[in-house]
Chain A
Amino acid sequence: MSAPYAKLPAWADYGLIPLINVTVAFIVAGLVVLLIGENPFRAAVILVDGALGRGQAIAYTLYYATSFIFTGLAVAVAFHCSLFNIGGEGQAYVGGLGVGLVCLAFDSVLPWWLTFPLAIIGAAAFGAAWAFIPAYLQARRGSHIVITTIMFNFIAASLMVYLLVNVLKPAASQAPQTRTFLEGGRLPKLNFLLDAVGLSVRSSPFNLSFLLALLAAFLVWVLIWRTRLGYEIRMRGHSPKAARYAGVSETRIIIITMLISGALAGMMALNPVMGDQNRLQIDFVTGAGFVGIAVALMGRSHPAGIVPASILFGILYQGGAELAFEMPGISRDMIVIIQGLVILFAGALENLFRPSLQALFAGIRPAPVGIEAKQGERV
């Protein structure tokens, strides 16, 4: 997404501008808190304390962050190909089906460390499959991927309710969920990691998939910036014409990118399904697919930005839950507003403060900063 703006130093471009934008988003969120008659500073203190104050809280924060790393990476990979995958929510939901089926089939026969790789494959395959149709339609029929992935979110919700109620639910049970997995379908907790640094954690859902998320972040970095495929993805994203001229098959790149994106979104399901609830239940994604959009924009589609952005949203999720106890006027939906504001200021309005910063930098450093705008340049 090139913009007709002059160049800033890299640290300002990748550090300062996102920081300013996110700060403004939080200030506006503070105004909303003010509007409903609560003190935004007190809210912020309760929120941060609720998310980071105790070992227990930190474990929960990291548990939420795990999901957002996966969905954020999913959105980011698609962004690099200038595709907007809004379907992370549905892909993660269907990915959960992959995890659930693997666990239901193998939890009584295999130990968890053998079920885990199979579940990863299941999650990735189901998530990728759910992204495949929109990808194919975009590549071959020109149907706008934004619309089709949104439609697939709704379709996924209906499909999963149907499967859980009519197929996967044990006959004796009323709740629309699968049976609880046995030991072989449960991921070990990582609480000992926090114990080791002197934080006490009684019980938390913080589990092994956090490490998988970090590994995925590293692999995405390798893929995008260190492989031929990643180069082709970025080339298609930067200039489809140049990619076509260089002999890159657009159809192939679009479909491969979306399969990777869908697989990453699907792997998010490992965290709640196999790591925490140990069963497949309705609506386990709870908006994480959409948070991925905010996370990817905030992290500038780079894994090194996505991981801290995910942790920030983990803080919001965990702290927001604590906040809802203290201030009844504020529910979890506050996070949806913050998410929207972050998407607005870090995404759509990312250039809001750029001209003034440029003027500032030009003033500090009189050397030529390359003011000439590229004519007619288009994204």
Chain B
Amino acid sequence: MDFFSTLVFLLDSTIRVSVPLLLAALAGLYSERSGVFDIGLEGKMLGGAFAAGAAAAVTGSPWIGLSAAVAIAVFLSLVHGFASITHRGNQIVSGVAINFIAAGSTIILGQAWFSQGGRTPLLGGDARFGAIQLPFAGSLSDVPIIGELYSDLLSGHSLIVYIAFLLVPFTWWVLFRTRFGLRLRAVGENPAAVDTAGISVAWLRYRALICTGILTGLAGTYLALSQNAGFVKDMTAGRGYIALAALIFAKWRPVPVMFACLLFGFLDAFAIRIQGTALPLLGQLPVQFMQALPYILTVILLAGFIGRAEPPRAGGIPYVKER
């Protein structure tokens, strides 16, 4: 059973590592499906994480932390929208700008307000989203295999983890079974047609970006209030970009996005697990190689297996109403 326990442990950490990726990738799904490329996922997550850490530290409530995170991330999303929808600026440039603004201001404000070298104060259990034990998790834990799967793998995560995975079918439903979703996808493919139907392209895209903001805020909250006990500078560490890669890898579809994020999360968890142990055939791999592995794999995945990923056709192009 030792192998099985190791596997459960590995899958358990896979889930923990995947959640921020999943939330960020779903966030990107809304905006990119509506025709707005969003490279600023990283910055919004970081801003959200800082707001969550700061607000939870001051008020002691994770819910106020969550609200602050969502508010900041939505605000940054709207800045992105203002630049790229209203003023038809370059969407990638705008996203890069948001990443820098978030990276710099979280450190500066964190230092000015808390004087802990850019960190927010360490949070106690009450100010965080702690683990939730599913019903009967304790009593079932002795049952072989199923008990272990249920108690160790499915139970014992924070609320945000369950929300993140529920958001996958929810996003699918919104995008493919509601009027809003149909219009959102249409505006990403052919905004002129949507405009002809008398629907505001700008307002639709703004709404998509608000969804993106809410989800990146959630991702940031998870980082600061669940995975860690407070905000640490640069704590997103490129996850926004990996989420973006997962989104492309999944060809902008919700359920494949989840599997892509789980795959990337598994690789990450696996890398941490085998650190310092010698592998058969390969021997001991350098730490730096394991750290670079998710990025290398992303490049390989982008280049090789998926061929040409077709982005939403109107993606990256500001809409100009015909006059």
B292 engages A341 (CB within 8 Å): no
What 0/1 readout, one digit per residue, does chain A (122-157) give for beta carbons within 8 Å of chain B?
000000000001000100011110111011101101
What 0/1 readout, one digit per residue, does chain B (61-104) give for beta carbons within 8 Å of chain A?
00000000000000000010011100111111110111111111
B100 engages A336 (CB within 8 Å): yes
Chain A residues 298 to 345 lying within 8 A of chain B, measured CB to CB, are 329-331, 333-341, 343-344
- State the Cβ distance, A108 to closest chain B Cβ, in Å: 30
A341 engages B97 (CB within 8 Å): yes
A344 engages B98 (CB within 8 Å): yes
- State the Cβ distance, A291 to closest chain B Cβ, in Å: 10
Q: How far is the CA of A148 from the CA of B65 in the complex (A)?
A: 34
Does chain B have a CB within 8 A of A249? no
Q: How far is the CA of A258 from the CA of B151 in the complex (A)?
A: 52
Chain A residues 357 to 379 lying within 8 A of chain B, measured CB to CB, are 373, 375-379
- Looking at chain A, what size class is its interface with the partner chain? 35 or more
A147-B245, A147-B248, A337-B104 given; A348·B302 CB < 8 A = no
- State the Cβ distance, A112 to closest chain B Cβ, in Å: 32
Q: Which of A29-37, A113-121, A210-218, A231-239 contacts B (4 or more CB under 8 A)?
A: A29-37
Q: Which of A96-104, A158-166, A189-197 contacts B (4 or more CB under 8 A)?
A: A158-166
Does chain A have a CB within 8 A of B108? yes
Does chain A have a CB within 8 A of B3? no
A86 engages B96 (CB within 8 Å): yes
What 0/1 readout, one digit per residue, does chain B (124-153) give for beta carbons within 8 Å of chain A?
000000000000000000000000000000
B94 engages A348 (CB within 8 Å): yes
A337 engages B105 (CB within 8 Å): yes
A141 engages B303 (CB within 8 Å): yes
B101 engages A148 (CB within 8 Å): no
Q: How far is the CA of A148 from the CA of B302 in the complex (A)?
A: 8
Contacts of B238 in A (CB 8 A): 150, 154
B83 engages A373 (CB within 8 Å): no
A375-B323, A379-B317 given; A348·B308 CB < 8 A = no
- Nearest neighbor of B297 in chain A, beta-carbon distance: A151
Chain B: interface residue total (CB-CB under 8 A): 56
The interface residues of chain A, by DSSP majority, are classed as helix
A329-B112, A333-B107, A340-B99 given; A159·B87 CB < 8 A = no
Q: How far is the CA of A302 from the CA of B245 in the complex (A)?
A: 32
Q: How far is the CA of A340 from the CA of B102 in the complex (A)?
A: 8
B109 engages A4 (CB within 8 Å): no
Does chain B have a CB within 8 A of A293? yes
Chain A residues 237 to 292 lying within 8 A of chain B, measured CB to CB, are 290
Chain A residues 167 to 200 lying within 8 A of chain B, measured CB to CB, are none
A151 engages B322 (CB within 8 Å): no
Q: Which of A4, A166, A330, A341 contacts B286 (CB 8 A)?
A: A166
- Nearest neighbor of B91 in chain A, beta-carbon distance: A348
Contacts of A373 in B (CB 8 A): 320, 323
A329-B111, A331-B107, A336-B104 given; A162·B245 CB < 8 A = no
A330 engages B323 (CB within 8 Å): no
B112 engages A36 (CB within 8 Å): yes
A347 engages B94 (CB within 8 Å): yes
- State the Cβ distance, A148 to closest chain B Cβ, in Å: 6
Chain A residues 27 to 70 lying within 8 A of chain B, measured CB to CB, are 32, 35-37
- State the Cβ distance, A311 to closest chain B Cβ, in Å: 20
Contacts of B322 in A (CB 8 A): 375-376
16 additional A-B pairs beyond A150-B238, A352-B87, beta carbons within 8 Å, are: A1-B90, A32-B108, A37-B112, A137-B302, A148-B303, A154-B238, A154-B295, A155-B292, A162-B288, A290-B100, A329-B108, A333-B103, A339-B100, A348-B90, A350-B89, A378-B317
A-B pairs with beta carbons under 8 Å apart, 6 shown: A141-B307, A143-B303, A154-B295, A159-B288, A344-B83, A348-B87
